[in-house]
C-alpha cells in the first residue's frame, strides 16, 4: 500500500523523498522567524531610548546578542530555501540553474556573515 503501481515503481516515478523535508524546514524556519521577530519588536518597544548607546548596551547582553544572531541565521536560511524553490521551478537550463544557485549560496552566506559580524562587533563593545 502506498507504493504506487508496479510500473511506476519500475520507472522510478513518484516522490523523490526530499520535498517534504524541504517543506518542513521552511515552515520551521518561518515559525522561528515569527517568534524571534516578535521578540525583537517587543524588545525594541521596551527600550527607553533609541540612540546608539542604548541599543549597543542592550545588544551587548548575552540573551539579546544570541537571539539576534539566531534571527539573522534563521532569516537568511528561510530566504535561501524560498529562493531555491523559485530557481528550481523557473530556471530550466542546467547551467543557468547552477549559476543562480551558486550566486544565491554566496550571497546568503555573505549576508549572514556580515549580519553576524555586526552583531558580534556591537556585542563586544567595538563601535
Give the pLDDT score at 127.
59
How far is residue 78's CA from residue 29's CA, in Å, rounded to a whole number?
6
What pTM, to 2 d.p., does this model score?
0.81
| Residue-wise pLDDT tens digits, 51-64 | 999 999 999 999 99
Give the pLDDT score at 26.
93
Q: Tell me: pLDDT of 1 over 60.
A: no
Torsion of CA 109, 30, 25, 66, to 10 degrees: 60
pLDDT band at residue 84, thresholds of 50, 70 and 90? very high
Q: Tell me: pLDDT of 95 over 80.
A: yes
Q: Tell me: pLDDT of 88 over 70.
A: yes
Give the pLDDT score at 20.
82
How does the average pLDDT of the chain come out, rounded?
89
**Taking a C-beta distance cutoff of 8 angstroms, is the pair 33, 78 a contact?**
yes
Residue by residue, DSSP assigns the chain as: --S--HHHHHHT-S--S-HHHHHHHHHHHHHHHHHHHHHHHHHHHT-S--SHHHHHHHHTSHHHHHHHHHHHHHHHHHHHHHHHHHHHHH--SHHHHHHHHHHHHHHHHHHHHHHHHHHHHHHTT--
Which cell numbers hold the place of 76?
A: 537568511
| Residue-wise pLDDT tens digits, 15-50 | 556 678 888 999 999 999 999 999 999 999 999 999
Amino acid at each position: 500500500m502506498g507504493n504506487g503501481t508496479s510500473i511506476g515503481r519500475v520507472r522510478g516515478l513518484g516522490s523523490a523523498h526530499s520535498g517534504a523535508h524541504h517543506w518542513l524546514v521552511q515552515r520551521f524556519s518561518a515559525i522561528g522567524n515569527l517568534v524571534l521577530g516578535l521578540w525583537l519588536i517587543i524588545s525594541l518597544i521596551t527600550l527607553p531610548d533609541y540612540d546608539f548607546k542604548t541599543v549597543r548596551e542592550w545588544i551587548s547582553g548575552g540573551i539579546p546578542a544570541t537571539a539576534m544572531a539566531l534571527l539573522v541565521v534563521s532569516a537568511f536560511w528561510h530566504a535561501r530555501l524560498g529562493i531555491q524553490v523559485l530557481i528550481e521551478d523557473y530556471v530550466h537550463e542546467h547551467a543557468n540553474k547552477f549559476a543562480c544557485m551558486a550566486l544565491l549560496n554566496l550571497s546568503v552566506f555573505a549576508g549572514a556573515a556580515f549580519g553576524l559580524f555586526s552583531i558580534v562587533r556591537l556585542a563586544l563593545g567595538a563601535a
